[in-house]
Structure 1
């Protein structure tokens, strides 16, 4: 008898020691979010095992669920002795795995959770569920009638969701995807599993896209998920023009849309904001037209391009039939446009944009006046739009930049800087271009984007943006490849220089006539075939070609189909840039020789009348691959 008692005591002591070891709280993250190859979030709540075992210990100390807990822990001890821990697995993880095994094999179960129709029942342990969340703790140990029942119905959840929640109670693990994120969140809310709610919010915040952002925002507002609400709101602010094209956009409230428009982070142009607002109005015109004044006051109408204002805004039926107070806003905006036109402009300057130094993008946008040898600065692009590649053009004395990312799948973004507004604003994205290797130029009142591609595939794409309509449209495809193209406008036509593949020196020169909307081949390949890539600029009906890899500079006369070569300057500007200003050719930036990391800071000027090069100064921010255009600036800038 004594031996048996001694044996039982030693087993009790072993169990107690195991429980104490398992109950020790290890300092580690409360939860772990990872994404699998399918893009699903895998929740591993590393604090869950400690939470369960701490609850069991507390119930044991209070004398509750005593027989069940004793049986469960004895089984867990036996399992722990036979089952080696997995990698990075603590004793509490082994214990929780053993408890789940009890559930799966229905050992010591004393409760069944049923769905509303009672068709599905999930056997489990009262003590484990009561330890897993405040909801179950109150239900099973709060003096309610469920405390003594062997079956409990939870009618707010489907069988599939309820099963996943019980699995989470026993494992601390859950997989969340786009199809179950909201239902799992609601289940976590009902059953009081805050980590599940947090994981669902984390997943939804990473799934934000124009098509679902409004729905996620409304979900976050409904359930007071502040972090998710802020992320969804900010996403819509940054993508409002594209969100306005989604099916869910119509469900935004007036107050929310006004907040989105007047947000300090709102970077879309007034044209894009106006179109977004009109889209919202047209869903329910009759009930919403009374709000028109509120929105017109928040859109900076005077900063619109005049052509868009006259052809789109003033001709919009909702606006033209608006009450007098709305008409007054339109009239005042037009008067400000007129006043701005009368103020005029005063001087020309060279804008130097983009490029890099020591492998780092140069964000400063420099303004250089060669006549005064003075430097100034323009605002930088927003940080996220710095991109990897850019195309730059001037149109109607505004700067247009196409910014693209590292991946071909990333949409290129179009940004515009206006002199009178002194700010960058985002415009509709190009429709087909994904790579800033495309060449940008302007003529006939439109911005043209032609060629692109990081691959060796032939690319014949071209499109143009019309500020008067705020729309892109495709132009006819070119006859031959436009890979790594350089474009320039001369004599009303767009000349494009590009080549075939990475191992070819065959340069194709083509010209596009915007008036006839047709392409033609230019017989210039034989002359320029020895060089692989160019920058181009035009002046006095001549095209100047600057080789990106040599000091060679050629001049082509499209009218007479003649070539000649310029004298070479003193310095080298490998991967530099050229720009025409005040009847002269300016060259700056680039490396001071092939294979040299040193950036050449000098600015050189070629005078066609005297056929000489002169070094005239140093760059404020030296860089390779800079982009340059000329711009007319108001006095004082």
Structure 2
């Protein structure tokens, strides 16, 4: 079990196979405490606390193994944070990083092929969308403005790096591509995608063949549909709908090339314990083992031993401090192609 219930935070797979949980919300307060999961013992243990308590922040693992945490909210006096910090896994400590140019709650962040970090969108202190982006250079420890996207962006886990090196940001009504080589943005497919809907509270997963799977969301149309982005044609295509409509679920690519989707919420069914697996080759969904307890906003992390850690989140009883492990029928003991 976690030391405290946690939701509204990203979980980061460290270079050595451990999992970092930093900050979040326990149901009554925003957290500054942090802990790491050690697969060898199956236990969580405390590590150094964040310098600033935060939730709805973004976190990425840098090329040198450190973890960069940016933005979020303290949930009390500050609706959006510009501050950033760096975690050193060997020492278990946090140090201050240069702050972003703009405060951002719930931004999207991704590590570019050259090691820089692109952060885009989010909301400001008044919960208004921030239509801007900026770049962090780990070599110099500095930020600089990037070209602004054409549309509002945001949401942890809604951006993935394609084989071309471009970054797909899939949220809202219009998906966009950022090209690190030119520094410019361009539209990714048609408005609304193949399902013709706005997406928020969805998942975005890079597939082994280079396509991108997008599933679910807070609108009824989004919740019940799934689609893939095809980079070669800059177009979206519908795939089979999942059996259960859902939002605020979790999804990741497992070592066998399948996408595991777990939990989430639905307007009429409440918090979900169901899980499904998507086969990118056949384009179909199949039922997966049910979670031990319903959980929305959970974290999912691919472990080096070939299993999936499902942790935290929330259900009708409140935020959760439990974790569980999914074992595929034939575990693939290697790092999955995509880290969540």
On whether the aligned pair clears a TM of 0.5, the verdict is: yes
**2:20 and 2:34 in contact (8 A); partners too:** no
Distance change (3 Å), C-alpha of 1:394 and 1:609? farther
Q: 1:391 to 1:510 in 2, by over 3 A?
A: same
- Distance in 1 of aligned mates of 2:243 and 2:137: 38
Q: Quote how far apart the aligned CAs of 1:384 are.
A: 6.3
Partner of 1:153: none
Matches within 5 A, 1:76-91: none
Q: How many angstroms apart in 2 are the aligned matches of 1:405 and 1:469?
A: 26
Measure the CA separation in 1 of the matches of 2:147 and 2:131: 10
CA deviation vs aligned residue, 1:163-202 (integer Å, no higher than 9, x gap): xxxxxxxxxxxxxxxxxxxxxxxxxxxxxxxxxxxxxxxx
Residue from 36, 45, 69 that aligns with 1:449: 69
Separation (CA, whole Å) in 2 of partners of 1:426 and 1:502: 36
C-alpha distance in 2 between matches for 1:436 and 1:621: 28
Aligned to 2:35: 414
Instruction: Determine the structure 1 residue equivalent to 2:135.
Output: 511
CA distance in 2, matches of 1:626, 1:492: 29
Q: 2:166 aligns with which of 527, 542, 546?
A: 542
SS in 2 for 1:411: coil
Task: Summarize the alignment of residues 395-434 of structure 1 with structure 2, pairs less than 5 Å apart.
Answer: 395-396=14-15, 397-402=17-22, 403-408=24-29, 410-416=31-37, 418=39, 421=40, 423-434=42-53
Q: Does 1:555 align with 2:182?
A: no
Write the mapping of 1:527-606 to structure 2, written as runs, cut at 5 A: 527-528=150-151, 531=152, 533-534=154-155, 535-540=158-163, 541-547=165-171, 550-567=172-189, 568-570=193-195, 572=197, 573-582=199-208, 583-591=210-218, 593=219, 596=220, 600-606=223-229
* Superposition pairs of residues 230-249 of structure 1, within 5 angstroms: none
Shift of 1:612: 4.1
Contact between 2:166 and 2:179, CA under 8 Å: does it hold in 1? Answer: yes
Shift, 1:628, TM fit: 4.5
Closer/same/farther in 2, CA of residues 611 and 599 from structure 1, 3 Å limit: closer
Query: CA separation in 2, counterparts of 1:464 and 1:620?
Result: 40
CA distance in 1, matches of 2:144, 2:217: 33
CA contact (8 A) 1:412 1:430 kept: yes
Which structure has more RCO (C-alpha within 8 Å, separation ≥ 6)? 2
Three-state SS of the structure 1 residue aligned to 2:107 is: strand
- Cα deviation, residue 489, structure 1: 0.9
Residue in 2 that maps onto 1:387? 6
Structure 1 vs Structure 2 CA RMSD: 3.1
Match of 1:74 in 2: none
Spell out, residue by residue over 1:140-179, the C-alpha distance to the aligned partner (whole angstroms, 9 max, x if none): xxxxxxxxxxxxxxxxxxxxxxxxxxxxxxxxxxxxxxxx
Asked if 2 retains the 8 angstrom alpha-carbon contact of 1:412 and 1:436, the reply is: no
Residue 557 of structure 1: how far off its partner (Å): 0.7
User: Aligned equivalents of 1:575 and 1:557: distance in 2?
Assistant: 25
Q: Secondary structure at the match of 1:448?
A: strand
How far did residue 425 of structure 1 move? 2.0
TM-score (normalised: structure 2): 0.61
Q: Which has the larger radius of gyration?
A: 1
State which of 43, 54, 61 in structure 2 corresponds to 1:435.
Answer: 54
Task: Tell me: CA distance 1:634–1:601, structure 2 relative to 1, closer, same or farther (3 Å).
Answer: farther
Any idea what SS the aligned residue of 1:624 has? coil
Matched-pair contact (CA < 8 Å) for 2:108–2:153: no
Higher helix proportion (structure 1 or 2): 1
Give yes or no for the alignment of 1:608 onto 2:231: yes
Residues 456 and 588 of structure 1: CA distance in aligned 2, closer, same or farther (over 3 Å): same
Contact 1:543 1:555 in 2 (8 A): yes
User: How far apart, in 2, do the equivalents of 1:417 and 1:609 lie?
Assistant: 40
Q: Report which of the two has the higher share of strand.
A: 2
TM-score (norm 1): 0.35
Deviation (angstroms), 1:558: 2.1
Alpha-carbon distance in 2 for matches of 1:624, 1:384? 27
Mapped partners of 2:13, 2:141: distance in 1: 21
Cα offset for 1:607?
2.2
Question: How far, CA to CA, are the matches of 2:105 and 2:162 in structure 1?
Answer: 25
Preserved contact between residue 488 and residue 537 of structure 1 (Cα < 8 Å): yes
Correspondences of 1:34-113 after superposition (within 5 Å): none
Structure 2: stretches of 5+ with no match in the other structure:
254-301, 307-329, 332-340
